[in-house]
Amino acid sequence: MTKLYLVRHGETVDNVAQILQGQEPGQLNERGLEQAREVREKMASEQIDVFIASDLKRAIETCRIIAEPHGMAVETTALLRERDWGSFTGKFIPTLKDVEWPDDIETLEQMKSRARNFITYLKVAYPGKTVLAVGHGLINKAIQSVYFHKPMNEIQKMGNAEIRVLML
């Protein structure tokens, strides 16, 4: 069985500004860096075999900070990328409340497909290992939706730098 520590990246400048980052790189703010350091301290004594992050900067940076005491490199994967918000990317979230969604937004089913592929990848590549993976709010929600066989709206939102444990 593969043990997965699923982590959301630390807080970013755009999180605070309520900007829809989507698949933009993102930049951790000072609080986000501190959150990553807090997770590093919590996880320093844990036996972790592999560190994996979304290939977006905010997740890689969070994961590298957490991996420091282990002296291990961070593997990256596009499977852990945040939802592609299409033409909504970069928009101020409160202004999108009653706006019709464009056709270029990644669907929940597409996200759940990536989530299934990520879970399968971990089971095949790292059986019996402990993996710490840093993703994003919605892809992490999709992973848990697939894992628990529940609709995404029944999965509680993860806070920045929050850790959840899944046994795959």
Tens of pLDDT, residue by residue, the chain (168 residues): 999 999 999 999 999 999 999 999 999 999 999 999 999 999 999 999 999 999 999 999 999 999 999 999 999 999 999 999 999 999 999 999 999 999 999 999 999 999 999 999 999 999 999 999 999 999 999 999 999 999 999 999 999 999 999 999
pLDDT of the residue at 129:
98
Q: How far is CA 73 from the centre of its chain?
A: 18
Among 71, 65, 67, 83, smallest CA distance to 135 is for: 83
pLDDT of the residue at 19:
97
Binding site for substrate, residues?
Answer: 8-15, 58
Among 88, 112, 82, 83, smallest CA distance to 100 is for: 88
Q: How far is CA 138 from the centre of its chain?
A: 7
Instruction: List, as own/partner pairs, every contact residues 148-156 make where C-beta atoms lie below 8 angstroms and the sequence separation is at least 24, other chains included.
Output: 152/108, 152/112
Give the C-alpha separation, 132 to 51, whole Å: 5
pTM of the model: 0.96
HSE-up of residue 111 (Cα within 13 Å, Cβ side): 24
State the catalytic residue, choosing from 34, 68, 82, 109: 82
Binding site, residues?
Answer: 8-15, 58
* Cβ contact 38:162 at 8 Å: no
Q: For residue 86, count other CB atoms closer than 10 A to its CB.
A: 15
Does residue 82 have an active-site annotation?
Answer: yes
State the catalytic residue, choosing from 9, 61, 106, 136: 9
DSSP string, 61-121: HHHHHHHGGGT--EEEEGGGPPP--GGGTT-BGGGGTTPPPPTTSPPHHHHHHHHHHHHHH
Give the C-alpha separation, 160 to 52, whole Å: 17
pLDDT of the residue at 163:
98
